[in-house]
Copies of this chain bind each other. A is one copy, B any other.
C-alpha cells in the first residue's frame, strides 16, 4: 500500500512502473497471440518479448490463467469494435431484424477471421474444471465481455419490446443467440477436418433460423434464398490492427 505518497513527486514515477508494466506485459502477450498464434502464448515467451524474466510475471499476475484473462480482456476490444461497427452500419436499416443479423454475422465473421484471439477469449478452458475460485466475488471474469453481452441483450430486449420478437426473457434469448454463434465458430475452429458446408450457407442458415425462431410472426431475415449474401465484400473493414504473421496463414 504505497499510497502514503512519499511527500510529493516521488509517487508518480513509481506508480507508472506499478500499473504500467502490467499493461506492458499484457501488450506483449497480445502481440504474441496476434503474431505467433494461440499455442505460442507461454509465460516464458511473454516474458522474453516483454523484456523481463519469467518470474517477474508473477509480480503482476498470480498465475497463468489470470494473465490469460487480462489478455482476453485486451483482445475483446477488437470484437467489441466489430460489434459497434456492425450496429452503426445497420443503424439506418428500418428492419430491426437486420440489426440483429448484422450483430450475429459480425460476431461470426470476427471469430472466424481471428481464430487465435477467439480461442483466447472464449475457448480457453478453466484449468481444473473444478479448480477455479471466483476470486473477488463481485467482479466477473471479463469486464468488457460482460459489456458486449449486455449490448446484445439490450438489442434483444428492444426487439421484444417492439413486438418483433415473441415475448420472452431477453437474457435467455441473448444467451441462446450467443451460444449458437459460439458453437459455429468453435466447431469450425476445433474440427476443421469435418466436411462442413460452405461457411456462407452455414452462417446464413444459422442466423436465419434463429431470427425466425425468435420472431413473433415467424419471419426470417429475408425469407429468401440467400439471406447473408449481400455482405461478404466488406469483411475486413473492422480490422484495426491486423498483423501478418509468417507461416500461419490459415
Report the minimum CB–CB distance from A163 to chain B (whole Å): 16
A116 to B129, CA, bound (A): 8
Q: Which residue of B lies closest to A174 (CB)?
A: B197
Does any Cβ of B come within 8 Å of A237's Cβ?
A: no
Task: Find the residue from A129, A179, A191 having the highest chain B CB count within 10 A.
Answer: A179
The segment out of A49-57, A78-86, A203-211 that lies at the interface is: A203-211
Does any Cβ of B come within 8 Å of A249's Cβ?
A: yes
Residues of chain B lying within 8 A (CB to CB) of residue A179? 180, 183-184, 187, 202, 206
Does any Cβ of B come within 8 Å of A141's Cβ?
A: yes
Enumerate A94-124 residues with CB–CB distance to B below 8 Å: 115-116, 119, 122-124
A220 to B212, CA, bound (A): 11
Taking residues whose C-beta sits less than 8 angstroms from the other chain, chain A's interface range is 35 or more
Does any Cβ of B come within 8 Å of A39's Cβ?
A: yes
A181-B183, A186-B183 known; A123-B123 Cβ under 8 A = yes
Residues of chain B lying within 8 A (CB to CB) of residue A175? 196-197, 202
A171-B197, A173-B205, A183-B186 known; A248-B178 Cβ under 8 A = no
Q: A168-B205, A179-B184 are in contact. List 5 more A-B contacts (CB 8 A).
A: A122-B187, A122-B190, A175-B202, A176-B206, A178-B187
